[in-house]
Structure 1
């Protein structure tokens, strides 16, 4: 069996791992990314069917504003993206047909929220959320030692602290329920339902569980630059891969990692279905549940066990890819959250998210055609096994036709994918997506630090702190890379 020797082995080509790979390669380390699929990007990639490109999971690109992690990565590497800024980030349609436009300007959005939900409390609530989100992003790249796992982390945090960062600490102890109550919005049932479905996109949970620190930031992502990448989000991962390979890094596609064993002499042996890899350092860019299965050291398994979330506390997804004729009635706004009266059949979720290809993007679909990537959450994916794919395909076409996205006869292709497809595509246990949901009982310092074993194994991705969304996983890769470099170089 072939044995390949590298300095750094990164397991998984999701965007957190690619971020770490690029930053380590930039510093001269020899990096190899091990990926079971033939495309990079993980849950922020694209796949091809029938000649069209569909988004795998994430569909919106956020994080290019100042003080945000993706901006930092691009500035450090000089990677260029062909990104198109969206004039309108999203529209939301309630069950009664009311259309809400998530305007990118704070004042415009407040007026829209007051129009739909009434004026009481809206301005103060959204001004508070936006102020918190700005502080969070300014802090994110200044406190790269958090969560702490040694005294050096604490010292670095103290040396980098600013007064506004101290003011953020109490927000980890209160929930969005508390914030809604403070602004007399908790009894505004229509607004609370809107907030919950918006939180589900980014925080994977609802207002009683999501802490203010994360929830306020999550609710404000449409108030920052939202971008579209011609050709799909795969372009983001592929440009980072190109940079990595220019720095002599390697992409090892089509290799399924079976186990990782620490070696007595130091370093790690990574067993794949196509041979062995020996590495001085190893990065796990997979969910913590998968890390627990892969890493063969009982002491570390015991330490990980208390922070693992069970299947009933994570989310899976059902996704649909649809191709239809673009007409004059096709929505101009590309991203939509649609509340579903009575819930999605067989699943029970309350909304679906619809992302349309740009009308000028002929890399994803020929002119005159539109690609829609549609998704919804599946709670408890381990027990909510979806087998009614054809019924769901018929339902989504009928529902979107009723919403005016197209006529049923204009649809050329539709295909549904269940959590089982996510298991096959990503290898993520139970087909979980979107990272770990926010739970109030889990405080930030209880989340897993980037150091896995205190030696030369590290973690990044959407189930470690901080994760979720492209900006979050990018930040997790930045933190992990910085800690490795500080620990050993």
Structure 2
């Protein structure tokens, strides 16, 4: 097989790059080791039900956001359904905090639950930062800078409003809470920490203001549900790729990448592939294992994070009898005492829409549950059943469903995640934010500065469907910038 661009993996960042490059007339081949496309943003079928693999809510379709950019440049249309209420957070004292999708409504709710002190100023500030971050991200697609042309183009694209973001790279979210006199408000600090964990993969002292403010405000943008599961987010992109002459090969695990005089040779489980260019859409920890060239390995080494700095997940997939129509499909439940064996202090659950008969038959719904496990390599789960039961009790106590409605339960550990996805350590959510790593110090899209590139949740900008979509936009842009 020969391509202009061989793309390793079919995560949403990889598919974004594939679609944008195919649009420019390049022959693109996507090599996927699994039998389903989409990576962490997809669904899988089991016993007639469709469960989500990872991410369970969709944002990024508003103006100046990455998915909107992708759709505007390709004409792809997505079968989505906007959510009126993005999510609820269940606090230890029994209060339910509704994350309203409009700023004024959300500020009113935050003041009702946490008191008026500092809330309005804090959330108005975060929302303003988040809007400017998204706008700047699509204006500066040569960022992070890694060659002279990046520097020139970034300089030409600088706007005064972009410069106002710079101090935020040096402040943490802990600093921001201190500024608004909220750092001593323990319930609010706990709330923010657990919200950051599911978006930025870390806590207040480590997450910088730019990423933190953006992460905390994702519910203030249009949130969507995809009928049939997130695999139906992926399918239209693949259909577009096919119409442009590209293709995807399933069960095609890439085992080695070699640089040739005229391009690259990829050894896969289904034979050899040759291409002019390569884009790796898999994690850095996996990417480094594919390249035998020592110079490439050395270049990546400073960016790699070990298991002790990553998060895995304990996940559960439930089939339930449908209850009355749900107003809110996504819930985070705080567990201050921590879950047995893993110590996690919050659980996230997403229900399928009760009218979505693609994922479950009428009268039933499916639910995806996840909770973080720090340092997944160290946490070899010994008593999976105990964790499973503890999570169910937490969800039952909050009235999210009743015991008699449970039809089936299946759970998976980081080890199972690693087995099925091949992601190193079974890590989820991408690389966590750390205060010592500024945005311009994150790995940029160039792998070897010759013809190999990177995208996905372990390179700039990181986590979430909008983030990996942006990484795919940047990878495609830099490839075109370098060679066309």
Q: TM-score, normalised by structure 2?
A: 0.98
- Any residues of structure 2 matched to 1:62-211 within 5 Å, and which? 62-211=59-208
Q: Which runs of 4+ in 1 moved over 6 A?
A: none
**Matched-pair contact (CA < 8 Å) for 1:88–1:101:** yes
Structure 1 equivalent of residue 428 of structure 2? 433
Deviations 1:260-301 (A, max 9, x none): 1112x2311111122111111000101111111111110111
Aligned length: 484
Structure 1 equivalent of residue 395 of structure 2? 400
Is 1:318 aligned to residue 314 of structure 2?
A: yes
Query: Following TM superposition, by how much is the alpha carbon of 1:397 offset from its aligned partner in structure 2, in angstroms?
Result: 2.7
Unaligned runs of 5+ in 1: none
Structure 2 equivalent of residue 349 of structure 1? 344
Aligned residue among 272, 278, 282 for 1:282: 278
Aligned residue among 26, 32, 37 for 2:23: 26
Structure 1 equivalent of residue 476 of structure 2? 481
Distance in 1, matches of 2:33 and 2:294, equals 25
SS in 2 for 1:218: helix
**Matched-pair contact (CA < 8 Å) for 1:331–1:405:** no
Distance in 2, matches of 1:341 and 1:368, equals 34
Query: Following TM superposition, by how much is the alpha carbon of 1:402 offset from its aligned partner in structure 2, in angstroms?
Result: 1.9
Structure 2 equivalent of residue 61 of structure 1? 58
Query: Following TM superposition, by how much is the alpha carbon of 1:39 offset from its aligned partner in structure 2, in angstroms?
Result: 0.7
Structure 1 equivalent of residue 331 of structure 2? 336
Query: Following TM superposition, by how much is the alpha carbon of 1:348 offset from its aligned partner in structure 2, in angstroms?
Result: 0.6
Distance in 2, matches of 1:331 and 1:58, equals 20
Structure 1 equivalent of residue 268 of structure 2? 272
**Matched-pair contact (CA < 8 Å) for 2:333–2:395:** no
**Matched-pair contact (CA < 8 Å) for 1:392–1:416:** no
Unaligned runs of 5+ in 2: none
SS in 2 for 1:104: coil
Query: Following TM superposition, by how much is the alpha carbon of 1:395 offset from its aligned partner in structure 2, in angstroms?
Result: 2.8
Structure 2 equivalent of residue 305 of structure 1? 301
Distance in 1, matches of 2:258 and 2:57, equals 37
Distance in 2, matches of 1:175 and 1:360, equals 42
Deviations 1:163-209 (A, max 9, x none): 11011011101100110000000000110000000001110000000
Residues 83 and 452 of structure 1: CA distance in aligned 2, closer, same or farther (over 3 Å): same
Query: Following TM superposition, by how much is the alpha carbon of 1:425 offset from its aligned partner in structure 2, in angstroms?
Result: 2.1
Distance in 2, matches of 1:406 and 1:26, equals 46
Distance in 1, matches of 2:117 and 2:46, equals 48
Distance in 1, matches of 2:110 and 2:397, equals 25
Distance in 2, matches of 1:312 and 1:412, equals 36
Distance in 2, matches of 1:206 and 1:184, equals 18
